[in-house]
Structure 1
Amino acid sequence: MAENKKLLVLCLEGMLQSWGTDAKWDIRDTGDMPTKSGIVGLLACAMGLERGNPEIAAMSDAMTLAVREDRAGTRLVDFHTVTGNPLMNAAGKRRSLGDTFISQRQYLQDASFLVFIDCADDWRERMIYALQHPKWCLYLGRKSCVPSRPVLVGVTEEYTDIAQALQTYPIQTKRRDPRGNTKQNCRYESEISNTGDSTLSRSDVVLADGYRRFARRRVWRGTVKEVPYVSE
């Protein structure tokens, strides 16, 4: 009989979330699921690790994770008018298109995601302590996106692996289906191979060079059926 895993469980829930996948220049997008770099960044923030600290990349390499969408969010596009006198570009030169531009920033409204993390005991204990005693304020992808509930759910030893946890771990949000259903179908994204119906390549693995550059990883996507809500 396979020994059960100790899995760290997080809940990412808030009025707004933003998980950039190709956020450059005037358009700041959000993916429909939290990115690995965003989750690692949240944990690094709790630990008080400065950008470029090699421990951030080490933590990313040490974990295997999956994300389940317990409540789908709706997409919001916020328009900002930015003016400078003069307005400089990233190279430190005056913009050729003028000193005013409109920036689009995308968010997910009212979404809730469950995150399962499989890692070594020392990393897991360090993550738990940091989330209980965060060094810096936590946010969901962007500093304006604060969690509406504690991020740390706890540790579960009830499942043999992440794939099984995705199937049956109860939905944590208390906002039930308006039709009174006690179960629902949930989309997910997992690093465990062959767990989903399709694959996707994501550029969100933190590199150790200290710059905002990322390596690619493959994730599996699918849907789990009839996941129960947590008992009240």
Structure 2
Amino acid sequence: MSRTSVLALRLAGPLQSWGASSRFTRRTTESAPTKSGVIGLLAAAAGIERGDDTRLAPLAALRFAVRMDQPGTRIRDFHTAHHAVTGASMPLSERFYLADAVFVAAVEGDHALLTGLRDALRTPVYPPYLGRRSCPPSEPVDLGLYEEARLEDVMASVPWQASPWYRRRHQAPQTLTVLRETAADESTATADVLRDQPVSFDAAHRRHALRTVVTDPVSTPIPSDGTSPQKAHDPFAALDVLEN
């Protein structure tokens, strides 16, 4: 019998964009990473090609959750482009992003599959990005593999991942919001239904099915030393001192 484990990810970068219903010249973003976007990140790291639905299926079957550790700010940009052959101007498009956001995402499933995905994140075939190719992560996304764990427990126990500068300027919230895919034996009476279950990433015919999601608050798990576990250099720290 296979073991069930959980692979946790830290999704942080200057910009993120997780579109679920973008069409034509208006490319919106959800307020948190989508399952299709995160599965796409994992598939890219594992070298799964866009039209390879057979290899995609086991990843799509993983149960997914995301925690909003640092909501970020929604911004809008205008995008211009020209036809590669004719040089003609393409239609002006609006593109929306989340700036300075940090999320903890996790997938639950077969231990062997998740072990392979963790290894792929450390040596990816294709580079990971946060919803769009123009949005690279600022740090490695692998937060670790939790053996024989449950998605709910990992979401409640991974230390708060907000950036150091954010932690200095904001008091830690009492709770964090978790958007969690329902378990097979769980009631869906209060769940939301989203068309965000990846079926195919084939560029010619992308397909998504429905999945059910519940919103849970969890107590903010502050690191034992009271600091962010990510000790990246903040080049603007000196400016904060001058302001004070």
Same fold (TM over 0.5): yes
Aligned-partner Cα distance in 1 for 2:103–2:47: 24
8 A contact 1:17–1:109 mirrored in 2: yes
Instruction: Report the counterpart of residue 100 of structure 2 in structure 1.
Output: 110
Instruction: Report the counterpart of residue 56 of structure 2 in structure 1.
Output: 56
Structure 1 segment 88-107 matched on structure 2, within 5 A: 101-107=91-97
* Alignment size in residue pairs: 216
Aligned-partner Cα distance in 2 for 1:5–1:56: 19
Instruction: Report the counterpart of residue 29 of structure 1 in structure 2.
Output: 28
TM-score between both structures, scaled by the size of structure 1: 0.82
Q: How has the CA–CA distance of structure 1 residues 106 and 209 changed in structure 2, closer, same or farther, with 3 Å as cutoff?
A: closer
Aligned-partner Cα distance in 2 for 1:156–1:75: 32
Instruction: Report the counterpart of residue 241 of structure 2 in structure 1.
Output: none
8 A contact 1:171–1:230 mirrored in 2: no
Structure 1 residue aligned with 2:140, among 141, 147, 150?
150
8 A contact 2:192–2:212 mirrored in 1: yes
Aligned-partner Cα distance in 2 for 1:143–1:74: 19
8 A contact 2:182–2:212 mirrored in 1: no
Aligned-partner Cα distance in 2 for 1:219–1:147: 25
Aligned-partner Cα distance in 2 for 1:78–1:189: 27
Code of the residue aligned with 2:113 in structure 1: it is W
| Range 35-44 or range 196-205, more displaced | 196-205
Instruction: Report the counterpart of residue 216 of structure 1 in structure 2.
Output: 210
Q: How has the CA–CA distance of structure 1 residues 128 and 27 changed in structure 2, closer, same or farther, with 3 Å as cutoff?
A: same
Deviation at 1:137, TM superposition (A): 1.2
Instruction: Report the counterpart of residue 79 of structure 2 in structure 1.
Output: 80
| Range 106-115 or range 52-61, more displaced | 52-61
Structure 2 residue aligned with 1:134, among 124, 129, 139?
124
Q: How has the CA–CA distance of structure 1 residues 124 and 79 changed in structure 2, closer, same or farther, with 3 Å as cutoff?
A: same
- Once the two structures are superposed, residues 60-98 of structure 1 have per-residue CA deviations (whole angstroms, 9 ceiling, x without a partner) of 11x1121001111100110124466696xxxxxxxxxxx
Give the 3-state SS of the residue equivalent to 2:121 in structure 1.
helix
Instruction: Report the counterpart of residue 121 of structure 1 in structure 2.
Output: 111
Q: How has the CA–CA distance of structure 1 residues 42 and 160 changed in structure 2, closer, same or farther, with 3 Å as cutoff?
A: closer
> Would you tell me which structure has more strand in proportion to its own residues?
1
Deviation at 1:166, TM superposition (A): 2.0
Instruction: Report the counterpart of residue 15 of structure 1 in structure 2.
Output: 14
- Once the two structures are superposed, residues 141-183 of structure 1 have per-residue CA deviations (whole angstroms, 9 ceiling, x without a partner) of 00000000101011234x8522222223211234253467456
8 A contact 2:160–2:220 mirrored in 1: no
Give the 3-state SS of the residue equivalent to 1:177 in structure 2.
helix
8 A contact 1:168–1:228 mirrored in 2: no
TM-score between both structures, scaled by the size of structure 2: 0.78
8 A contact 1:64–1:119 mirrored in 2: yes
Matched-pair identity in %: 33
Code of the residue aligned with 2:75 in structure 1: it is L
Unaligned runs of 5+ in 2: 228-244
Give the 3-state SS of the residue equivalent to 1:9 in structure 2.
strand
Give the 3-state SS of the residue equivalent to 2:24 in structure 1.
coil
Code of the residue aligned with 1:206 in structure 2: it is P
RMSD: 2.7
Give the 3-state SS of the residue equivalent to 1:23 in structure 2.
coil
- Once the two structures are superposed, residues 86-139 of structure 1 have per-residue CA deviations (whole angstroms, 9 ceiling, x without a partner) of 96xxxxxxxxxxx66321001000111101221102211110111011011110
Instruction: Report the counterpart of residue 71 of structure 1 in structure 2.
Output: 70
Give the 3-state SS of the residue equivalent to 1:126 in structure 2.
helix
Instruction: Report the counterpart of residue 90 of structure 1 in structure 2.
Output: none
Aligned-partner Cα distance in 1 for 2:31–2:167: 20
Code of the residue aligned with 2:46 in structure 1: it is M
